[in-house]
Structures are given as structure tokens and as C-alpha cells.
Amino acid sequence: MKKTMLKRLLSALLCLLMLLGAFASCNGNKNTTEETTVAENTADDVDPNALTLDHYRIIVSYKIKDDLRDSARRMVSLLQAYTGKDVMLREDDITAEDASYKEILIGATNRAASAESLAGIESGYVIQNKGGTIIINGVDELATADAVEYFIHNIIRKTGDPQGTISLANDFVLKQPYTDVDLKNTPYTIVYSATLDDSVDTTYANNGIDYEVQLAMDLRDLLMDCGANVTVTTDAAAPVANEILLGSTNREENTAFLKSLDYTQYGTGYVNGKIVIAGHGPATTAMAGKLFKTILSKGTTVSLAPVGARSNGNWILSLPEYEGGVLVSVSECYYNEMLYYIAGTTQEEYEAYAAKLEGLGYTKTFENEIEANYFDCYETKKIRVYMSYSANEKVTRLFVGDPDDVEYPQSSTEKYQKVTDMSITQLQLDYNTNSGGMGYVMTLEDGSFFLIDSGSTTNASAASKGLTNNDRVRIWNTLNKLNKRPDGKIVIRGWLITHCHADHINVFRKFCEVYGQKVTIEKYYECVVPSSVAYNSKNPDFHMAAGRVEKAKNQVKGGFDYVALHTGMKFYQYGLNFEILFTIEDHFPSRLHYFNDASTVFRMTVPDQSDDGKCQVLITGDLFTQGSKKLLQRYTAATLKSDILQVSHHGNQGASKAFYRTVAPSTCFWPCSQSSFEELVSGIGTTSYYVIDRYIYTELGVKEHYTNSDYAVQLPLPYAVGYARRFALPTTDQYP
């Protein structure tokens, strides 16, 4: 990540480009020109001229297509981040007569310099500084987009300074020719890593193969449909002359290609007769695969650069350097955030980075400490860095995004009149018509509510019998029964979804559809799992990506705001403290194998004025084995010990015995039917979770167990054993 290393990478890249030309004439592939990279001037070998970029405007053709327009917009965003000023993006129908601005010409504009720049160029792109006019152009829009990416990463980011000045000689010219690769008439072998999952587990309907494997199959089918001779194998096989390398393999060409990319980049390349399609992780490799399919859509003779790189246009690229440790990988998060995973670092290096951010003008907006785990958030107007350090792992995680894209949790600050005592109510759910479920209502001191999960809708078996699930009505009746607000309004401060399996989110959606105009829902909380992260996890679900949550939002009066969650966040809501202990992001860089392990785990605490202590409730969602293992690696009983525990995954295969022993609750919520509970704890089963459930029931010392099929149960907070209140509610609307 260091600037000096980046300069060395640029020099190495230029050398690589010249060396690769020697390989272009073999294997039936034709290099369209004898030139390789021609650089009359580069930023490394001449005295640079300083160009102040806030004196520029970016010009594109009015005919420009979306992909190239996105590249231009990404440059605008980066220039604005560097200069702190608005940078204009204009179409070429405006005149060039305004002498107060110089121009950066991207693509085939109507300016004469754009056409002149391509004179004698048969393939690839050119970047040129012609008397202060910067020209970025290619033989087509794909090549031009490659050129824009090169300019962003190798000129702006590597030579730019915080004042928005770059180093670029006045007569700078960089020409990058491409190689034409005939995929139809030259046999190719598609190669992916032997470490990937390439077998379908038929015990889970949605489980399959890893993304890179699926991409290999897709490309094989596309090429074979065009008459190509293509085979697929893993990198355990010996290398052959013509290969298409997907993701990260053990091939030298793959390694060299990835070294030439920044961790925010992905792309395609042609190295030693081999095509590389890759990024630093599944998310960016997925983007590279999409890019190559776009290239392939133009024909089976593809034109490739040694390195044709891209970046996600929504990601923040101007991240201050973290000094220390090893940047292992990056992953996409939802809401356009990126996660940087830095291993082998120290607390001192973490604190130095925090001080660096403050020195660069970032404002500290949050801090927290849980045992030897540290969490901080720093922001500018356009960049937010949420960061954490785990002493046990010696790992720093940086979550980088735009604060305008999504909210982080905020504590309630306004004064309020207490109208009721706090409580937690486990919702009653109808197990005769659904496939399971889980839901909790937190009653806050001002009479408002905070909800956790919900339940499932009508399952296929019930539907075939003409039965309908009405648990949305039960939630409505429960809220009205518990409502103590003087104005009688139902105000839901937040609705938190632990993970988006149907039995946790579907009733929320139906509730919004039926009662959205009768209630206020202020916030929607979820650590959303990107599809690329959970691509091959067992039984994934993507309600957010499918637009179902947005539909629910539009059905609620006034809508609601989205709130992102990361481990370590804490917030306060009208007497109740929330603290996030675990999210999907704690698995990274390991792949997610079980979607249940994407569950957000959090604790809620209530001050106990009687003995100056606190009452703690621990919600685990459907936490699975690996998730509970990571929690135990990070926290001790000082954090996990709780008075009230929600047993994970409805009592089915979930958290470990060691996890439950550490939590040591006195009261357990079992989000399952009474009959299922009795079977799970009976001791008749020999599978691991039956044994663990029996342990919880007979050996852990739990004093109370509550299921949720026959009644709702309300526990006043802080809670003393024996003071629970049970009530059953019908599935007909009692509060029209």
C-alpha cells in the first residue's frame, strides 16, 4: 500500500508490458502492431510538470455508453476527493472556448485532439498530455475504460497529492497495444483452483459450486456454442500452452497478473499466451468474469491488454495508507462499502493509523472497547472509515465507504418521559402453517418498540390444505396489547433482522404490506450479506438484493432508513443498550459455508438499579458452529455471560456446547414449537445438536425454558426468574 511500492509496481508494470510483446506471435494469436508500450515520457523517468486538476473539466462524447460513463464518473469522484472541489463532467456539445478550464478528453469526443491521438493505433489505448490537454482514448469504449482505469491508478493515485496536483510531463505519451486472441480456432483449457468447491451438495437445495467453478462452466458453454474447442480442469493438472485462468490459481502468469493489480481492482489480461480473469477474492473475480463476458459478447476473437484493470465505481479509492501488517485481501460489503483485511499487525500500528486519520482531518465519531477488541469510526464529508482491531487475531479490519450511502446506528439523545417498564416479549408463531420462525418485541421506556426478526409465511404443505399463516396479525395484536403510549400510536424505533432467511424476515415484509400505513417504522437494521460473499453457502437468501426490503419500505408510511451494522457498534434506545458482537464480516477472508453463520449476534443490557448491576439478553439468530467458535476466540464470559439467551437455530444444529457453557443463562428462549422442544431435549437423538440441547436442558443450570408456539411470553427487564407473563393471541385482528 505504500507509495514507494506503488511507484515500483508502476515501473515493473511498464517493463512487463515490453516483455510481453515477445509472446504475441505464437499460438495462432496476432499482435496488431510491432510496438509494445511506447512512453516518450513517464512519471518516473522525466522531471514532471505539476498539473492542478481542479482547473480541469472532463469531456465525454454525448454518445457515450453507460460503462464508459461510469468510468468517467469514477474519475470525477476521485478528483473531487483529492481536490475537495466540484469537478465538472460535461458532454462534448459544450464549447472549448472557456479559457478558465483545461480539458480531460475521454473517448471519442468531437475535439480534434481525440481523433488525432489514435493516428497509427490499431488496437489498445493512448494516454497523452498535449499542451495541457489530457487525452484518454482507445480504439473502442472497452479499451478507453482500461485507459481511464490506468490513469486513475497509475497517475492520479500514484503521483497525486492532497492539493489535487499530479505529476505529468507536458509531452507525456503512453501507448498500450492489445493482442488479438482467437478463441474459436485455438484450443484453450479453462483452469480454476483445486481448492474450490466443485461438487453439488444435494442435501441443500440452494447449495452448489463456488463462483469461479460456475464461471468456468459458463465460459465453456459460451465458447462451445460458438464452435470452440474448450476443456475445463483444475490447477492440479500440469500447465499447458493455452489456458484461461480464473480467480487465483497456482500458475505464474496468474500470480504476476494479480501482483500488478491494486486490491481494489479486478480485470482481464493476456500473459505469456494465457488469459487471466481475476481479482483479489470472490467478489472482484465475479466482476472480472462479468467484464470478460462483455468482451466475449463482441466475438470469439478478443482483444486483450497485458493488464486490463477495472475498479468498482461505487468504492472509495482514496483511502489513506495503513502502515504495518499485510493487506491480505478485500471484500465487498453491502451499501458500497469495502472491507480491507490486514493481518499480522499490532495495536500500536492500529493506533498510529487512527492518529494519522485525525491528522488528515478525519473526525472521530465513535469508539468502543470489548475486552481486547477495539473499534473506532472516523469520517470526512465524503469518506467514512469504520475500523477494528482484534488483539487475539492480530488483525485490523477497515470498512470504507461514503457516509451518504447508509447510516450507522445512532443513540437516542432527546429527553423523554418514561411511560412503561422495559420488557422483552417472545412472539407467538403458528407452526401449523409456517416453516419455523423467530421474533422478539422490545418494549422501550418511552412506550415505543424495537423488533427483532419476525417469522415465516405460509409453507407449501399448509397451502395445499387451504391454510394461511397470519402471524403478521399476531404481531399487530401484540404491539397493541403492549402499547402504553399516551397518544396510542405504534412507534417502532427499529426493526433488526439477524439474517435474511425466510423464517426470520417474511412476516416483517407481510406486516409492512398490511399494517405499514398504521405504524411508524423509523429504522431497518441489518448486516446485509452481498451475494458474492454467500454465493456457495448452504441455503443462502438475498431479500435485499432482490428488492423485497425496498418494497416493504415503500409500503410503510414515511418509509424507513437503512442502518448498516458492523461488529463492535453500540447504541442506546430509550433505556436499552445494544452492542453488536459478531457479524458475517468476522468470517472474512474465509468463505461463508453456512448461511446461518451470517447471523448477527448482539447483546442488550439494562441497568439493574437494585444491585448496581445489569441484566443482559443475548440474541444469536441461527448462529452456526464456526460463528460460535469465533465468538469464543474473541470474547470470554465477561462479555458473553447473559441472564437471558435465545438458543441458536431454533434448537437445531447451531452453536457449540462450549459456547452455551460460557453464556450460562438462567432463562432460555427456544424459537420453536413445544413439540419440537420436547423432542430436542428428550435425549432420544444422538446427533450433535440433540446432545447439546439435552445438555442445555439438564446440565447447564437453566431455570426457565420458553417456546413460542402456544403463547407469547413477556419478561420484564431487568428480569428475575419467576416473573414471566404468558399470553396467547388469536390470528384475527383485535385492533382494527
In tens, the pLDDT along 421-436 reads 999 999 999 888 776 7
pLDDT value of residue 203: 58
Taking each helix axis as running N to C, give the angle between helix 548-555 and helix 502-515, from 0 to 180 degrees, rounded to the nearest 10. Answer: 30
Strand pairing report for 491-496 and 520-521: parallel
Residues in the chain: 736
**Dihedral sign, Cα of residue 710, residue 659, residue 588, residue 234:** negative
Backbone angles phi, psi at 466, to 5 degrees: 80, 15
User: b/e per residue, 538-562, with b = 16+ CB within 10 A?
Assistant: bebbebbeeebbeebbebbeeebeb
Closest CA to 596 of 587, 605, 608: 587
Spatial neighbors of 664 by CB under 8 A, at least 6 apart, are: 637, 641, 642, 700, 701
pLDDT value of residue 179: 94
Is the pTM for the entire model greater than 0.95? no
Is 521 strand, coil or helix? Answer: strand
pLDDT value of residue 157: 80
pLDDT value of residue 12: 39
pLDDT value of residue 432: 82
Question: Quick one: CA torsion of 619, 625, 626, 628, rounded to 10 degrees?
Answer: 40
Mean pLDDT by 10 residues, the chain (736 residues): 40 36 37 36 46 82 84 80 76 72 91 94 94 93 92 83 78 93 94 90 64 91 91 96 95 94 90 94 88 90 91 76 90 90 97 96 96 97 94 96 94 91 95 84 97 87 79 95 96 97 94 97 96 84 90 97 98 96 93 91 83 82 94 97 97 94 98 94 87 96 95 96 93 84
pLDDT value of residue 201: 66
Strand pairing report for 188-192 and 423-426: unpaired
